[in-house]
Amino acid sequence: MFKTYKLTEDPATLKKLVDALQKNYDIRTRGTEVHVSDLVQICLREQGFRRVMPKPITEFTAFYFLLGEACHIAAQKLIDGVKTEVVVKTADKKVQGHVDMVLNLTGTPVEVKTSTARIRFVAQHYITQLMYYMVMLNKRKGHLLYFWLSQGRLPTDPKGTLRSPSFGMYEVTITDLEFATIKADINNKSKLFSKATAEYETGGIGALQQLPAAKFDETKAFKCNSCKYVTECNSID
């Protein structure tokens, strides 16, 4: 039945989708304002390069960006009693962020994250991003809604049975001392990021040398394997 139809790949239409995703991706990574997402990534120097020397995303990046967007939109539409895409700013208005959801009753932030990691640990930079939002909202509690998009194992049993794709909710709480420390961290990192990216206009990529790079931390150096700015980064050290 229906054996006469023809099935072929359609790269032209696929390119339109990737181009649309690139445009949306660019909106989130360019501009002059410092965003929370600039400050909490594994490599601050890479974020600096992305700001001053944006490069096209790959089809691989576009695919996972689309998956992440789908999970965000689904959660925001299906969960009742929340405000979505809430804009928050520091007191001096120099850093801003977009919180995925804020609970109406408590004002508590909820961040939605996706992961394809084979070992199911909650990434530290995601926790840091949530804590930044907690400070900006003057809250000591927040939540991470995690979508595990592939099979994986628990950190406590790395050779155990593969678990099916699923999701989970995690609560993060901080003390008053941690609150003050995080607030200072936002201030210090944002000043450094703004200084380095502004000085790029007159000093070139050498100005980004002052931003910490993952390659100098052996626990984070794996990030360099997929970084599009390895050549530029190595040229300034």
Read off the CATH number of the domain in which 207 is found: 3.90.320.10
4 falls within a domain = no
Tens digit of each residue's pLDDT (9 = 90 or more) over 160-214: 889 999 999 999 999 999 999 999 999 999 999 999 999 999 999 999 999 999 9
Number of domains in the chain: 1
Tens digit of each residue's pLDDT (9 = 90 or more) over 120-176: 989 999 999 999 999 999 999 999 999 999 999 988 888 888 999 999 999 999 999
Domain that holds residue 50: 15-235
Torsion from C-alpha of 28, 38, 127, 234, nearest 10 degrees = 120
Query: CB–CB of 207/199 below 8 Å?
Result: yes
220 falls within a domain = yes
pTM: 0.89
3 falls within a domain = no
In angstroms, rounded to a whole number, what is the distance separating the alpha carbons of residues 55 and 52?
A: 10
